[in-house]
């Protein structure tokens, strides 16, 4: 090839449709790749690839007698590109060139146009974590750069599922108070990807719930999803605000002797329209105990109106997704759905339009009113609901919010030392996949240890999980498809009664930094089951050993005689005597009697599951 005077671009070829490296290509051109040198850039249907114009022997270049080793990428998949930008015309600094190229242009003023390809690669040490990368290509001709930018952007528009408009809620005091800083760190990713964001920084507890519950379906349809910058509790607030006025489903099933005496309205819907608009059936003193949540006034989102009642917003919804950019104290949902607690990774998965289905538990509290009527109160949970130890910890921690995330460690220690147990009765639906670690009679006496003969080996939920990919057909079966394990001809109820240190229901594994395997290592994101974990009263030392096992990778926290583990689609709970409170995704929920069921794959998340 011939070098055109002092121009750094060598023998530039026209855009062609000739093959490259044995594969058909769409475009090809010779450009300067910053920090590397002159390359032949080839655009394929699914990726970009580049190759040095003058290959270096064994990837080694020599300049002034000094050897330089070239270890650079040779391509990137289109699915791993989130933005392409045309840069301003300007000089190229010598530091932008490869060592070999520097030798050719010492003392010269190099000017050219350039464009940058923004993408990501996977971390070698943490496969679930995405690392930002960018490749800048230069050329002296502006139309040439513009043509590449147009071609790449046109191809990115055909990537299925990428959002264009998002509603973003930022919790400024979440976790260590890093909510705003976290959003500022990832906002450029959305800007480069040309994703419009309507950002609401909340100013009081319950504001996100108010906005989500009052936003019209017409306006909600203009968004491709909603993003929470905060922790699990903040996401729970947004989730409940979204589902409460829109998701209509029957109450959880209960055994014949469950005495809540519920009144079903016609088609057995949980909430009627008047209750939703008023908000009193969902938002109460139990949900947001820190700051009273007044009626929405002057909202930045328009309120419901009569015309909106006719607008359709189906739930479940395949295209409307939820995203979480972690800024909380635990961030268990993010870790379980993305595999890492990294804001950059979460932001990339959102702009790339990833999708994974997530089970949602419906928790119904049955409470008698002054007129002796039973009034159901409904909450939705995406990760975990716990009573006893878990409820006492969340209650105790509210006294020490000034400590930040450390308040949970301190509160947990205080509650553990008190070692309180509670009298309760739990009934649960048995299924073919129920995994009993122990079998007890009607009074709760241990009978025998059993394992289901059909139980398969543990299957950890990860990206492209076979169990979760068997998602229900929402369009053809409606709400019934969300509870496939409850649609059998005969519902078998089992009962467990006695004194319990804790009662927990895990929707997902609940992995976090303190419990690397979570509460249940093999729990799935979307299989339609709850993992009911009952910890019976036991000696202090035994309970400590159980908690210690949770902190160990590969531990066995469920293999104890005082631990019951049941895989079930629904359960009921009734307390006796002294009571604790329920911890529903990090929010306090007072309930003497409740019932719960899980809806399979009810919502979609901007995630793809953890990498192996």
Catalytic residues: 232
Cis peptide before 312 (omega within 30 of 0): no
Cα–Cα distance for residue pair 499/278, rounded to 1 Å: 39
Place of tokens 């293999």: 559
Cα–Cα distance for residue pair 500/153, rounded to 1 Å: 58
**Exposure string (b/e) for 270-290, b if CB count within 10 Å is 16 or more?**
bbeeebbeebebbbbebbbbe
Cα–Cα distance for residue pair 305/311, rounded to 1 Å: 10
Backbone angles phi, psi at 46, to 5 degrees: -125, 5
Nearest residue to 38 via CA among 89, 86, 3:
3
Encoded tokens for 119: 């993408």
Three-class secondary structure of residue 140 per DSSP: coil
Place of tokens 């968004």: 223
> Helices 207-214 & 232-243, crossing angle to 10 degrees?
30
Q: What is the DSSP string of 571-611?
A: EEEEEESS---EEETTEEE--SEEEEEEEEEEEEES-----
Nearest residue to 497 via CA among 428, 544, 433, 431:
428
Nearest residue to 272 via CA among 245, 307, 233:
245
Cα–Cα distance for residue pair 482/467, rounded to 1 Å: 15
Place of tokens 């002796």: 372
- Cα dihedral value 499, 502, 503, 505, nearest 10: -170
Q: Are 372 and 521 in contact (CB under 8 A)?
A: no
Give strand pairing partners of 262. Answer: none
Cα–Cα distance for residue pair 585/361, rounded to 1 Å: 10
Strand locations in 264-337, DSSP E? 321-326
């Amino acid at each position: 090839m011939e070098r055109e005077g002092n121009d750094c671009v060598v023998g530039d070829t026209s855009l062609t449709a000739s093959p490259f490296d044995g594969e058909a290509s769409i475009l090809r051109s010779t450009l300067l790749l910053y920090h590397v040198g002159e390359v032949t850039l080839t655009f394929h249907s699914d990726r970009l690839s580049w190759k040095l114009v003058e290959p270096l022997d064994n990837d080694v270049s020599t300049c002034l007698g000094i050897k330089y080793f070239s270890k650079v990428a040779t391509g990137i998949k289109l699915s791993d590109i989130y933005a392409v930008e045309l840069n301003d015309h300007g000089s190229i600094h010598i530091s932008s060139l490869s060592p070999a190229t520097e030798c050719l242009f010492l003392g010269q003023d190099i000017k050219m146009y350039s464009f940058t390809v923004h993408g990501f690669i996977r971390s070698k040490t943490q496969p679930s974590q995405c690392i930002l990368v960018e490749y800048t290509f230069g050329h002296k001709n502006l139309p040439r750069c513009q043509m590449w930018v147009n071609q790449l952007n046109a191809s990115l528009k055909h990537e299925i599922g990428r959002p264009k408009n998002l509603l973003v809620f930022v919790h400024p005091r979440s976790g260590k108070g890093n909510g705003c800083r976290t959003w500022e760190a990832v906002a450029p990713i959305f800007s480069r990807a040309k994703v419009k964001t309507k950002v609401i920084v909340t100013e009081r507890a319950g504001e996100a719930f108010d906005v989500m519950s009052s936003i019209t379906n017409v306006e909600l349809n203009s968004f491709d999803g909603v993003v929470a910058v905060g922790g699990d509790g903040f996401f729970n607030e947004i989730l409940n605000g979204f589902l409460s006025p829109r998701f209509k489903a029957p109450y959880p099933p209960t055994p014949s002797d469950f005495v809540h005496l519920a009144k079903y309205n016609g088609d057995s819907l949980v909430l009627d329209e008047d209750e939703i608009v008023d908000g009193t059936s969902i938002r109460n003193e139990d949900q947001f105990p820190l700051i009273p949540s007044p009626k929405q006034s002057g909202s930045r989102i328009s309120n419901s109106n009569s015309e909106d009642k006719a607008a359709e917003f189906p739930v479940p919804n395949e295209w409307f997704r939820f995203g979480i950019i972690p800024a909380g104290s635990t961030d268990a949902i993010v870790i379980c759905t993305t595999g890492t607690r990294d804001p950059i990774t979460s932001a990339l998965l959102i702009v790339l339009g990833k999708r994974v289905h997530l089970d949602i538990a419906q928790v119904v509290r049955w409470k008698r009113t002054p007129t002796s009527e039973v009034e159901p109160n409904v909450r939705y949970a995406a990760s975990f609901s716990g009573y006893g130890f878990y409820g006492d910890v969340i209650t105790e921690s509210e006294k020490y919010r000034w400590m930040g995330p450390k308040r949970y460690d301190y509160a947990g220690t205080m509650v553990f030392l008190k070692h309180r147990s509670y009298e309760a009765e739990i009934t649960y639906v048995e299924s073919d996949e129920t995994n009993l670690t122990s079998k007890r009679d009607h009074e709760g006496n241990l009978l025998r240890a059993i394992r289901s003969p059909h139980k398969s080996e543990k299957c950890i939920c990860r990206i492209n999980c076979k169990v979760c990919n068997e998602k229900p057909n929402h369009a053809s079966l409606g709400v019934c498809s969300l509870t496939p394990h409850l649609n059998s001809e005969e519902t078998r109820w089992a009962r467990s009664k006695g004194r319990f240190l804790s009662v927990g229901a895990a929707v997902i594994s609940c992995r976090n930094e303190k419990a690397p395997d979570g509460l249940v290592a093999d729990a799935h994101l979307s299989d339609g089951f709850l993992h009911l974990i009952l910890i019976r009263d036991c000696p202090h030392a035994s309970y400590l050993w159980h908690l210690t096992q949770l902190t160990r990778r590969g531990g066995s926290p469920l293999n104890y005689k005082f631990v019951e583990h049941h895989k079930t689609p629904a359960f009921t709970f009734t307390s006796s005597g002294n009571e604790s409170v329920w911890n529903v995704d990090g929010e306090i929920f007072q309930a003497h009697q409740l019932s719960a069921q899980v809806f399979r794959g009810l919502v979609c998340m901007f995630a793809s599951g953890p990498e192996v």
